[in-house]
Chain A
Amino acid sequence: MSEGSRRAFLSTAAAALAGVAIAPGIRLIEIAGARAPEEAASAKVRWGMLIDTAKCATGCTECVKACNEENGLRDTGRPRTDAQWIRKIDLKDLRTGRQHSAPVMCQHCAEPPCVDVCPTGASFKRADGIVLVDKHTCIGCRYCVMACPYKARSFIHENLAEQKPAVPRGKGTVEGCTLCVHKIDRGDGSTACAQACKAAGHEAIVFGDLNDPQSAVSKRLREIPSIQLRSDLRLNTGVRYSGI
């Protein structure tokens, strides 16, 4: 069988099997999409999000609360130095008076400036497009904080206690949205913010694999117009916005 016909056969077979449920609630297509626990993150996947600002409610902070809860971020009463992985931005068009709101977090750029400037290689992009800080090698210089056009990184100024086992955080290092990497590696297939937004009935955040044309996020991106924040910088962000 030639390579071409073999591939065609496989894709037909996969399509035929896609809808088959092998056990209640589990479909073959889902198994194929999930990564085995001992398998390294692969570049075949690129995780990303679409934020539909038309659905995002002004004043609602469910995503921020869920992020803080999931990652163990606590309010110290000193908001100027508290870590902030996701924040709500209120926008107003001064000419028309139209107001809307959107969450902003690490945009998980394909060409991340934070990685370019990091002197130790601590700021890095994982194969599946998630931009992270390896705190074992972070020296706390904060170059990345300055390089990020989205103000997505925070520096930890104080000793922390009672961190979440899946989310180690500590003084003297820089951190930011991890796209709930521990949840992704677990196979949850969603982030805390997207889940909270859905639970609140807004569904403004759609999370998924940008490389998979069948994923919810890819389908939605095909349907509605969307932009990348500061697209002039050509960073090819993993987080897209619509309605801005």
Chain B
Amino acid sequence: MTPGRATLRGRLTLRVASALLVVLAAGASLAVWASVVHARAPKPVVTIERPGQCVEATDVMRRDHMKLLLHQRDRTMREGVRTKPHSLAGCVECHASAKTGSVLGEQGFCESCHRYASVKLDCFECHASKPERVSARAKP
């Protein structure tokens, strides 16, 4: 065995070892990162104030509530049909928190889920987030 060859083999081993180390380190940091992320995004708090009374089945509402609202929105705005089933006011009336009286806030029915899903919720920049009676009581 010539000294040149020995050095080559040594270098190869070193490379393999360092590559392994890099992979291991990356794996470990990924695991740490994943656990941090997991800790940062707790599941949304979904408190149903009046269970079993929703206008559609839960899976339909989860997937399609925005479509129902959009349809009802145009009916209300353009044609003046303000019947309850899929109106935003109807959602708010039923789902406003008993504690805060609102669907917004960290534990609010709408906001907690939208925050978790990272979907912008701009309905309530214009619409009332509290039902009529609570809004009426609130001071300007």
The finding on whether chains A and B are genuine partners in a shared complex, rather than unrelated, reads: yes
Given A38-B83, A136-B73, verify A164-B140 contact (CB < 8 Å): no
B74-94 CB contacts (< 8 Å) to partner A: 75, 77-83, 89, 92
B127 to chain A, nearest CB (A): 5
- A interface residues, tally (CB under 8 Å): 32
Cross-chain contact of B83 among A37, A41, A168, A169 (Cβ < 8 A) = A37
In the bound complex, how far is the Cα of B79 from the Cα of A35, in angstroms?
12
- Would you give the 0/1 interface string for A186-224, flagging 1 where the beta carbon is closer than 8 Å to chain B? 100000000000000000000000000000000000000
Q: Does A126 touch B at the CB level, under 8 Å?
A: yes
A121-178 CB contacts (< 8 Å) to partner B: 124, 126-128, 132, 134-136, 159-160, 162-166, 168-171, 173
Q: Does A234 touch B at the CB level, under 8 Å?
A: no
In the bound complex, how far is the Cα of B82 from the Cα of A134, in angstroms?
15
- B interface residues, tally (CB under 8 Å): 21
- Would you give the 0/1 interface string for B105-135, flagging 1 where the beta carbon is closer than 8 Å to chain A? 0000000000000000000011110111001
Q: Does A74 touch B at the CB level, under 8 Å?
A: yes
Q: Total contacts A to B, CB within 8 angstroms?
A: 64
In the bound complex, how far is the Cα of B9 from the Cα of A100, in angstroms?
106
> Contacts of B77 on A, CB cut-off 8 Å?
132, 134, 136
12 intermolecular pairs with C-beta atoms under 8 Å apart: A40-B80, A134-B77, A134-B78, A136-B73, A162-B138, A162-B140, A163-B126, A165-B92, A165-B131, A166-B132, A185-B80, A185-B81
Give the A-binding residues of B (Cβ under 8 A): 73, 75, 77-83, 89, 92, 125-128, 130-132, 135, 138, 140
Other contacts beyond A38-B83, A132-B77, A164-B128: 9, CB < 8 A: A39-B81, A126-B80, A134-B78, A136-B77, A159-B125, A163-B127, A165-B127, A165-B135, A182-B82
